[in-house]
Structure 1
Amino acid sequence: MNKHFKKFLWLTPILLFCLYWLGIYLSLKNPMEEIVYSENCGVLRNLMVKPYIQTIGSDRFWDKTEGFKTIAYSKNIVSEKEYLSVTLNSDTPDWFYMYEYDLDNNATIYSNFKYDSSKKVFYQTDLYLTIDETSYEDKQLLDQLATYSKDRTWLKKQSKKVAEQYILGTWFKNGSSRYSLKNLGDMKIEYNKLIEE
């Protein structure tokens, strides 16, 4: 009996650690919570998931005491005409993603995404086209886009590619496969009303 009790005492810290780890892991209810946890939360995160910055191909370091930092995605993830970055913030889980697509030297599509942790929604906040420092939104954006042989369907495909392939897809591939596009946990994705009409 004494021998079994000593074994139990020896295993107790390991069991408690495993239960604690499992509790944290199960508390992450969607991929964005995993992403934020992978950068914001202590030593245990490395047991569950890879640091987020590594999954997007960056060799930069983020010191949480800086508050926030913008880090670009690797060109191995996005094409030469594209730029995608994430603004990490240690004060909030509501991170911000900025996307640019160069149509030509003077024209660029801008599309931004944000995670709202209170509503559990990952949504497209802005969608506009800038030509020679003039910005176009809504119907004007579509009219200008037509001069580049692109339309609302192209815009929708591009927006979905950014959210579902570049941002979330990269996480599912390089970070954690616990969630997927078919299983986003308690999170929803919402796109700009212009491409949903």
Structure 2
Amino acid sequence: MNKKKLLLWLSPFLLFSLYWLGIYWSLSNPMEEINYAENGGWMRYVMFKPFTETIGSDRIWKEDEGFQTYPYSDEIVGGQEELSVMMIRDSSEWVYWYEYQLNENASVRMSFKYDSVNKVFLQRNVYLYADGQTVEGSDFLKKLSTYGKGRTWLRNQSKKVAEQYILGTWFKNGSSRYSLKNLGDMKIGYYKLIEEQ
């Protein structure tokens, strides 16, 4: 009889533990964790800080918002740089926008998006916005060189944004499970212009 009472008393804790483990193992990479930390069920409060809090925002996602854009705090990205994330309800394919100000009339811009089907955190585009015009492709690299920057700088800056600002901030402030050495089932893909030699 005592064993039955003990089992009955322990069963809520066992069920809670099994539920927690089920969610924990279902989040197979950091981008899924990030999404769950902001959009998940009540268990997200037990497992993670809200994602918006980890990027330095004091605003929490409102239940009636379909999407919302949040800037990263100046303590994470500041000075000549700006980074924000557009979060979409019921989707993990959020878009991260980054801008590096070269001068008052020119900036390098890039975006990253998580492709949930192929499990790739992908740099979607990189371009120069100067004097009200967008410059892309090989023209972009030529124009960029006039500011004393080239493909190596662009590659390093892209990696800094993806690995230090976006993922690194999450590893530092949100997730203890994943790291740059352990991305789960996810890969990082950079724009072809960055990868070309």
Q: TM-score, normalising length from structure 2?
A: 0.97
Structure 2: distance between partners of 1:141 and 1:177: 38
Render the CA deviation track for 1:51-83: whole Å, top value 9, x for unaligned. 100000111121132110000000000121111
Once the two structures are TM-superposed, the CA of residue 47 in structure 1 deviates from its matched residue by 1.3
| Separation of aligned partners in 2, 1:130 and 1:27 | 40
Q: Which amino acid aligns with 2:110?
A: S
Determine the structure 2 residue equivalent to 1:32.
31
Q: How many residues align?
A: 196
Structure 1 stretches lacking a partner, 5+ long = none
- C-alpha distance in structure 2 between counterparts of 1:87 and 1:75, whole Å: 17
Partners of 2:19 and 2:143 in 1: how far apart? Answer: 54
Tell me the percent identity.
61
Unaligned runs of 5+ in 2: none
Q: Distance in 1 between matches of 2:126 and 2:64?
A: 32
Within the alignment, does 1:145 sit opposite 2:147 as a pair? no
- The equivalent residue for 2:56 is 57
Equivalent residue letter for 1:62: W
Aligned to 2:164: 165
The residue type paired with residue 148 of structure 1 is: Y
SS at match of 1:177: coil
Is 1:133 matched with 2:132?
yes
SS state at 2:11 partner: helix
Kindly indicate whether the alpha-carbon contact (under 8 Å) linking 2:39 and 2:90 is maintained by their aligned counterparts in 1: no
Q: TM-score normalised to the size of structure 1?
A: 0.97
Corresponding residue of 1:177: 176
Distance 1:144 1:64 in 2: 44
RMSD of equivalent CA atoms: 0.8
- Residues 141-160 of structure 1 show CA distances to partners (whole Å, capped at 9, x for unaligned) of 11011111100000000000
